[in-house]
Amino acid sequence: MDIRSLRYFQAVAEELSFSKASRRLRIAQPALSRTVQGLELELGVVLLQRNRRLVALTPAGAALLRDLGLLLERMEEMAKRVRRTAVGEEGELRLGYIGPPTQVFLGRVLAEFRRRHPRVHLVLEERTPERVCEMVARGRLDAGLTRPVRSGPALGLSSRLLRREPLWAALMDSHPWAARASVSWAMLAREPLIVLSRREGVGLHDEILEGCRRAGFAPRFAHTPSVIGTVLAYVESGEGVGVIPDSVAVLGTGRPLSFRPLVPRRSVELVMVWSEDHANPAAAAFRVSMLEWIQAHRPWTRV
């Protein structure tokens, strides 16, 4: 029982005339009759009572026509859904991201993406940079917004730079440096430092170490918490000076904290990563939305 046979039967059943159905389908009437007879043989039932003057549905034929309408409607919707999925208008987008560096823009980008692609189901997962890249490489995520990681090239990921994010010193408002326009890396040699743990952000951690090394000192870490917001909590409690990407300053809103750029300038990158081995049209559509937003909002402000 194939779709062609079912469509031929539907035409005859709706027209109650082989001649009218053949004109509607634009096929020869004998071919139409043979197809309907073949369908009846396959099902083992009579679907149509016919003679030279009359074509009528049998109860079995009426049941098939009723169910056939639903079936063909579902098949048409399936075909549309397949076509929409092929161009990224439907399906699922599994996106991994790191928190503070993306919170300035991610909600707005996703809102615009959903406006353009309302049939795409979004699955969001906040992870560490290393975990985001690993999950993208394994096909568990379709794309990621993350820091570059050393294992990235070995994982075979494609990437696009979104932003170079400068590093800042996080200070208590009462700290003498809070009145300065900037803070030098060399000045940090005299202070206990609070930075994100290397396990949670290897790229950021190593960039901070390199900034200290170039300034001629080995840093003295007071705390290395696993959550970037905790860095600011330690700073607020007077435990030391924090070193953060400028996007994290948003988390300090409403706190008695000041943020000053570190000079000479050093930065960490925010990138979008994906795997060509796990192509997803919805992910390709998201990449377009993401890059359009980046182009429309350069340069980014700190908040």
Per-residue pLDDT tens over the stretch 175-213: 999 999 999 999 999 999 999 999 888 889 999 999 999
Mean per-residue pLDDT over the chain, rounded: 88
**Per-domain boundaries in the chain:** 3-86, 90-162+269-296, 165-268
Of 3.10.310.30, 3.40.50.1000, 3.10.580.10, 3.40.190.10, which CATH number belongs to 90-162+269-296? 3.40.190.10
What CATH class is the domain 165-268?
alpha beta
Kindly report, residue by residue over 225-277, the tens digit of the pLDDT.
998 889 999 999 999 999 999 888 877 778 899 999 999 999 999 999 999 88
Look at residue 89 in the predicted model and tell me its pLDDT. Answer: 59
Assigned fold of 3-86: Arc Repressor Mutant, subunit A (1.10.10)
CB 183 within 8 A of CB 169: yes
CB 185 within 8 A of CB 288: no
Look at residue 301 in the predicted model and tell me its pLDDT. Answer: 43
Give this prediction's pTM: 0.69
Judged on CB neighbours under 10 Å (0-12, 13-18, 19+), 243 is: buried
C-alpha to C-alpha distance for 217 and 225, rounded to whole angstroms: 22
Token output for 289: 């939305």
Q: Any long-range contacts for 150-154 (C-beta under 8 Å, 24+ apart)?
A: 150/202, 152/273
**What single letter denotes the amino acid at residue 35?**
T
Q: Any long-range contacts for 200-203 (C-beta under 8 Å, 24+ apart)?
A: 200/128, 200/226, 200/227, 200/228, 201/98, 201/128, 201/129, 201/147, 201/228, 202/129, 202/130, 202/147, 202/149, 202/150, 203/129, 203/147, 203/148, 203/149, 203/268, 203/269
Residue 119: CB atoms within 10 Å: 13
Band of residue 167 on the pLDDT scale cut at 50, 70, 90: very high
Band of residue 299 on the pLDDT scale cut at 50, 70, 90: low
Do the domains spanning 3-86 and 165-268 agree at the CATH topology level?
no
CB 197 within 8 A of CB 205: yes
Kindly report, residue by residue over 38-96, the tens digit of the pLDDT.
888 888 889 888 877 788 888 888 888 888 877 777 777 676 666 656 655 568 899 99
Instruction: Reply yes or no on whether the pLDDT at 11 is more than 80.
Output: yes
| Residue of 212, 223, 269 whose CA lies nearest to 246 | 269
What percent of the chain has a predicted confidence (pLDDT) above 90?
49
